[in-house]
Amino acid sequence: MTEPVVTTSAPVPRSRLVKHRSRDVGGELLESLWAFHQRFVVRSRESFVAGLASADEIWTLDTPAGLGGFASVKTVRVELDGRQHTVLYTQWAFMDPALRRQGFLHRVALSAWLRCKLRHPLRPVYWVFTASSVNAYMHMLRSMPIAYPRRDAETPPLLREVLHQAMCQVSPGSWQPASGTLRRNGEVQYREGLVSDKDGHPDVVFYRSLNPHQSRGDSLGCIAPATLAAAGAYLRRVRRGKTPRP
């Protein structure tokens, strides 16, 4: 079952953002996702299929030229001191480089956030993902007014614990709480967004220090409060024509 969500205009006429239940992904769609994913990452097909199955929903950006991107989202619930917290875990997000800066991932996140708030208006919501590339980490810093880890502030204890508990649910065998990373032992390799020792940007240097084994496929756990203020900040950037990548 698929659910058309948004029809966008220029610069990609007739492109559609479509939500799929993960259990319905198979056949031609699965092959398309697998082929698209291989443009950016090297991993086994078995691992890829298992990853898709573990998500709640798969979002695709369908364009006249074919698949333009996709993201997988899983909703995780964490309880701390008797209070419930909702985590929107974005396991994967891939976009054709030519279609970036159109806010694809933000539209996915906004739709998921709105559904969470309609169900539980007072429950805090967080966006959690693992920055497998320096591009993903920089995207987070540009996109969210408050996000961690960051070089200019310590991660608050509450957010650190929410991140830890969420990652223990989604990747219990790979999550390394001491370093805040997912350890993959070379089972995954990235084709873009690799850290260069020659890049002296302070945020890149900081990312490299936290995720020194990116070349072996390790990813940095990241968290950002998904609040009304964050959504408002994003919409203001869209109106100014400064949509963050991707």
Tokens of 159: 């957010």
Residue 172: inside a domain: yes
pTM: 0.86
Residue 114: inside a domain: yes
Residue 133: inside a domain: yes
**CA–CA gap between residue 49 and residue 26 (Å, rounded):** 10
Residue 80: inside a domain: yes
- As a whole number of angstroms, the longest Cα–Cα distance in the chain is 50
Backbone φ/ψ region at 241: left (φ over 0), alpha (ψ -120 to 50), beta: left
Work out whether strand 57-63 and strand 66-80 pair parallel, antiparallel, or are unpaired.
antiparallel
How far does CA 74 lie from the centroid of its chain? 10
Q: What is the dihedral of CA 24, 25, 29, 33, to 10 degrees?
A: 160
Rounded to 5°, angle at Cα 231 from 226 and 235 = 160
What is the helix (H) or strand (E) element at residue 49, kind and residue range?
helix 45-54
Q: Domain range holding 207? A: 73-239
| Among the listed residues 212, 132, 221, the one whose alpha carbon sits nearest the alpha carbon of residue 171 | 221
| Domain count of the fold of the chain | 1
Residue 52: inside a domain: no
| Among the listed residues 192, 179, 178, 172, the one whose alpha carbon sits nearest the alpha carbon of residue 219 | 179
**CA–CA gap between residue 97 and residue 65 (Å, rounded):** 14
Q: What is the pLDDT along the chain (246 residues), one digit of tens a residue?
A: 555 554 444 444 578 899 999 999 999 999 999 999 999 999 999 999 999 999 999 999 999 999 999 999 999 999 999 999 999 999 999 999 988 877 788 788 888 999 999 999 999 999 999 999 999 999 889 888 899 999 999 999 999 999 999 999 999 989 999 999 999 988 998 988 898 888 999 999 999 999 999 989 999 999 999 988 777 776 676 666 555 545
**CA–CA gap between residue 125 and residue 236 (Å, rounded):** 21
Residue 244: inside a domain: no
